[in-house]
Amino acid sequence: MIFNHRRNDFPSLSHKYNGHQLIYLDNAATTQKPYAVIKAMNDFYVTSNAPIHRGIYRLAEEATYSYEMVRQQTANFINAVSPSEIVFTHGVTHGINIVAASWAYHMLHEGDEILITQLEHHSNILPWQDLAKKKGILLKWIPLRKDGTLDVTTLPQLLTNRTKLVAFTMHSNVLGDINSLVSHSDYQFLTKSYHSSQQDFISLLIEQSHKKGARVLLDAAQAAPHEKIDVQQLTCDFLVFSAHKMLGPTGCGILYIKQELHPHIKPASLGGGMVYNVTQQEYSSRNMPSLLEAGTPHTAGVIGLGAALTYLTEKINFIELQEQETALCNLFLMQAQSIPNIQILGPNAFNKKHLISFSIKTIHSHDVAAYLDNYNICVRAGNHCAQPLHQALEITNSVRISLYIYNTDRELKKLIKLLSKLI
């Protein structure tokens, strides 16, 4: 049995409903928060609250210092070259919209192409659909097959000299790690076609995109909470993730923009904080990252993000976490085999890292979630903001369980027992 001593750090996990202890399996949507994060935010409001980047007095300077220290900490967390590459946002959705408005809108022109995959969350689809319509850009998709494998054999036709941006998720929020969704034979086809020696699909796609002169945006919403991200090693141009999916508060996210792109970034929102000089006729902007942080930011949120990153850095070993999560996934998958009518989504049923989506032929996903809720078990049901993905799989909805650092085998055994009973 996996005994999880970290559970004591999370006050919400001890809450009971209907006499049942909370079993929280919706971590891909948002995670629970440890005392350390709650306390850091609370302490900020109690002892250090003041506006940042504006005040001349001690309290304001201390608040500014704490905020900027988290920027440095975030840069270290993803191995960015400089803290100026880190922009604080409201979350991944906001970050991608900023890239569309502050870079793509000015740098892409009629006839240019953007390439995404059919795995994407709506927040990595809609900004590009909108931009494509406004600017006469072609939005292209790497298709997903019905079995949940990505048809990467289409890549040599899809990725062209006109492709200016390739934007894709590192881990699908429905099917998991994108590398595990590329079949061995498809990958061999790609490495031969491109004479590439890259070891995985993410690296190969970045390499080939750059060779064509395209920039790369990585959606790390589901990857950053579970694995070490190194933007220098990845060589991506943009990377986005959300604090609330990795123990931090809602309303706070991170947008990484590689330094060499900074001269091409224009403000996405206009107002205080991003401006240097204003006359009645015009304004001049500050440099990155202030350029993209107009208005008073979510300072307490950033302080909470800092506490979450400290917790993850000091208490969590990502390799051990991955082993624990994979073991729990395998436990669920083994036991699910004996339940009739459960269909696990995606290929390689036993290659799940931290989330599993499934559908039950005879029961709607909403009914599954509502039934489990009676036992204080939280799972996600619906299309998970990924309708084109579900369209490829020829289903409209699914149930998703997603794990994080506090889940245990006991919780999954109880889930399996209840699912068997329901079916």
Q: CB 169 → ligand PMP: shortest distance, Å?
A: 5
Residue 118 binding ligand PMP, by CB under 6 A: no
Q: CB 252 → ligand PMP: shortest distance, Å?
A: 9
Whether 385 is a known active-site residue: answer yes
Residue 151 binding ligand PMP, by CB under 6 A: no
Residue from 117, 169, 209, 398 in contact with ligand PMP (CB under 6 A): 169
Binding-residue total with ligand PMP (CB under 6 A): 15
Residue 9 binding ligand PMP, by CB under 6 A: no
Copy the structure tokens of residue 236: 């991506």
Binding mask 72-91 for ligand PMP (x = CB under 6 A): -------------------x
Copy the structure tokens of residue 323: 């082993």
Residue from 23, 221, 239, 321 in contact with ligand PMP (CB under 6 A): 221
Q: Is 176 exposed, middle or buried (0-12, 13-18, 19+ CB in 10 A)?
A: buried
Residue 93 binding ligand PMP, by CB under 6 A: yes
Q: Smaller CB distance to ligand PMP: residue 221 or 300?
A: 221
The DSSP call for residue 42 is: H
Q: Which stretch binds ligand PMP (CB under 6 A): 42-50, 214-222, 276-284, 291-299?
A: 214-222
Q: CB 244 → ligand PMP: shortest distance, Å?
A: 6
Q: Is 56 exposed, middle or buried (0-12, 13-18, 19+ CB in 10 A)?
A: exposed
Which candidate in 236, 252, 378, 385 is catalytic? 385
Q: Smaller CB distance to ligand PMP: residue 73 or 124?
A: 124
Binding mask 228-257 for ligand PMP (x = CB under 6 A): --------------x---------------
Q: Smaller CB distance to ligand PMP: residue 205 or 419?
A: 205
Q: Which stretch binds ligand PMP (CB under 6 A): 42-50, 216-224, 351-359, 396-404?
A: 216-224
Residue from 85, 177, 186, 219 in contact with ligand PMP (CB under 6 A): 219
Q: How far, in Å, CA of 240 to CA of 256, rounded? A: 6
Within 16-55, which residues bind ligand PMP (CB under 6 A)?
28-29
User: Over the chain, what HEC string results?
Assistant: CCCCHHHHHCHHHHCEECCEECEECECCCCCCCCHHHHHHHHHHHHHHCCCCCCCCCHHHHHHHHHHHHHHHHHHHHCCCCCHHHEEEECCHHHHHHHHHHHHHHHHCCCCCEEEEECCCCHHHCHHHHHHHHHHCCEEEEECECCCCCECHHHHHHHCCCCEEEEEEECEECCCEEHHHHCCHHHHHHHHHHHCCCCCCHHHHHHHHHHHCCCEEEEECCCCCCCCCCCHHHHCCCEEEEEHHHCCCCCCCEEEEECHHHHHHCCCCCCCCCCEEEECCCCEEECCCCHHHCCCCCCHHHHHHHHHHHHHHHHHCCHHHHHHHHHHHHHHHHHHHCCCCCEEECCCCCCCCCCEEEEEECCECHHHHHHHHHCCCEECEEECCCCHHHHHHCCCCCEEEEECCCCCCHHHHHHHHHHHHHHC
Q: CB 30 → ligand PMP: shortest distance, Å?
A: 8
Residue from 32, 173, 357, 359 in contact with ligand PMP (CB under 6 A): 173
Within 353-392, which residues bind ligand PMP (CB under 6 A)?
385
Q: Which stretch binds ligand PMP (CB under 6 A): 146-154, 155-163, 219-227, 316-324?
A: 219-227
Q: Smaller CB distance to ligand PMP: residue 34 or 225?
A: 225
Within 404-423, which residues bind ligand PMP (CB under 6 A)?
none
Q: Smaller CB distance to ligand PMP: residue 53 or 253?
A: 253
Residue 222 binding ligand PMP, by CB under 6 A: yes
Q: Using CB under 6 A as the criterion, which residues of the chain lie in contact with ligand PMP when the complex forms? A: 28-29, 91-93, 121, 123-124, 169, 173, 219, 221-222, 242, 385
What positions carry a catalytic annotation? Answer: 385
